Amino acid sequence: DAGVTQSPTHLIKTRGQQVTLRCSPKSGHDTVSWYQQALGQGPQFIFQYYEEEERQRGNFPDRFSGHQFPNYSSELNVNALLLGDSALYLCASSLAGLWNTEAFFGQGTRLTVV
Amino acid sequence: GENVEQHPSTLSVQEGDSAVIKCTYSDSASNYFPWYKQELGKRPQLIIDIRSNVGEKKDQRIAVTLNKTAKHFSLHITETQPEDSAVYFCAAGVGTGGFKTIFGAGTRLFVKA
């Protein structure tokens, strides 16, 4: 059973550019959440997707947007990159339900903005 | 906005001793409290979680307690081993029909052999 997979593993972009990160959830999971983890910090919640809709959003600007596909995979898009966007971007999948359930994390995408 | 404070930021214990990490959350609607362990260069992995309708949960050497009135929850690791050395994150989940999980800043635990 494949866990949560993210691509690419590493990425270097120039300030002002746009980037797309991808996530495939664990088999059987239908909900995907994205997090930004700066060095030495805890993951910061960006947003959560379920049934192809954004269901919850953290305190991130509109430059951060996402998408979920019918097969539950998801993309995170960041426009007009800033140096401060350099971080590890983590995707986590879970199974929707009345209660919040265990989330499984991917290995992350290390984004460096130069 | 929602916030989770975690203490201490660094904790050093001798092998075999106990370790305690404490967290405080701000949103009283939070109903799910997971704890994650993250080893260097690896993904966070769930070690234990507790829901708001339970006050305490134990899994072998790990236990978590929740005080909803005080909005406090704590992780207890007994008989620590060198392989317990890692960064531990507490988190608070809130929402219905879509959940937001707010993480603490992390505690770096060192277990000395």
**Average confidence (pLDDT) over B51-79:** 95
pLDDT higher than threshold 80 for residue A100: no
pLDDT, position B67: 95
pLDDT higher than threshold 70 for residue A1: no
pLDDT, position B97: 67
pLDDT higher than threshold 80 for residue A17: yes
Whether B98 sits inside 8 A of A99 (CB atoms) is no
pLDDT higher than threshold 70 for residue B99: yes
Sort out which chain A residues have CB atoms less than 8 A from B43's CB and list them: 90, 105-108
Q: Break chain B down into helix, strand, coil percent, rounded to 5.
A: 5, 60, 40
Q: How far is B25 from chain A (nearest CA, A)?
A: 14
Paired tokens of A4: 């949560």
With beta carbons less than 8 A apart as the criterion, state whether B24 and B5 touch: yes
CB-count burial class (<10 Å; 0-12, 13-18, 19+) for A61: exposed
Q: How confident is the model at residue A35 (pLDDT cuts 50, 70, 90)?
A: very high
pLDDT higher than threshold 80 for residue A2: no
Sort out which chain B residues have CB atoms less than 8 A from A105's CB and list them: 36, 43-45
